[in-house]
Homo-oligomer: A and B are copies of this chain.
Amino acid sequence: MTTEPSLSEGLATTRAIRRYTSEPVGEAVLAKVLHLASRAPSGSNRQPFRFVVLRDGPVSLRVRTLLAEGAEEIWTAKRATNEFPDRAKDSPTSRMLVAMDHYVANLAEAPVIVLPCMIRYREPTVTEGASIYPAVQNLLLGARAVGLGGAITMFHQVRDSEIRQALAIPDEAFIAATVTLGYPAGANGPVRRKPLDQLVFEEAWERAPAWAVDPPGTRFTGGPRPA
């Protein structure tokens, strides 16, 4: 049992975890993670977020199979686009491809899968995600807080109608993500992002303020490094 990180350490180091041990996730642990997810904000605090949990019931097993089919279909297509040019052995990209192959092949057996859903109360808008994805992020961070790891995928999308039917998800709700959870197998790699001066602007688009600097030791991905 590792010590729980501080809030800032948790935010700085939570990353997608796609390999899990076979250790089952207990009900009290799951309840705690979902409680933390439900603390997220939503428009006018309407709380339109719902969490459909897939464990080992017969409907859950059926939906797991549909998700695994969807994962295989989406990942095979994505692999075929050759949008991953950096194939040097042991590069971040090659490690990601190996991890994704393993993840997709084992998706049906993920210890827990959560389908966060949002109940719509009006026509879709560009900002409706503001009432569901903060809760999805809290779900991943809450998982980290109890020692679990997780990953967001959209593997439900190619089996959406079959999954909705199996779980009796009503028309006014949509599945916002497929989140796998489990105890991490192996070590976590670092979180890599673009340098802050590519992401933070002041007074005008693409005008990075001088103070927009990451802490020492930050590791970056893509694009030019800051001077």
Contacts and interface: CB of A to CB of B under 8 A. Distances in A.
A221 interface: yes
Contact of A205 (B12, B41, B167, B211): B167
A159 B137 CA distance: 28
Nearest to A213: B31
Q: How many copies does the complex hold?
A: 2
Interface stretch (A32-40, A65-73, A101-109, A180-188): A32-40
A59 B54 CA distance: 49
Contacts of A38: 193-194, 196, 199
A5 interface: yes
For chain A, the bracket of interface size reads 35 or more
Contacts of A224: none
A196 B34 contact: yes
A50 interface: yes
Interface in A36-84: 36, 38-41, 43, 45, 47, 49-55, 57-60
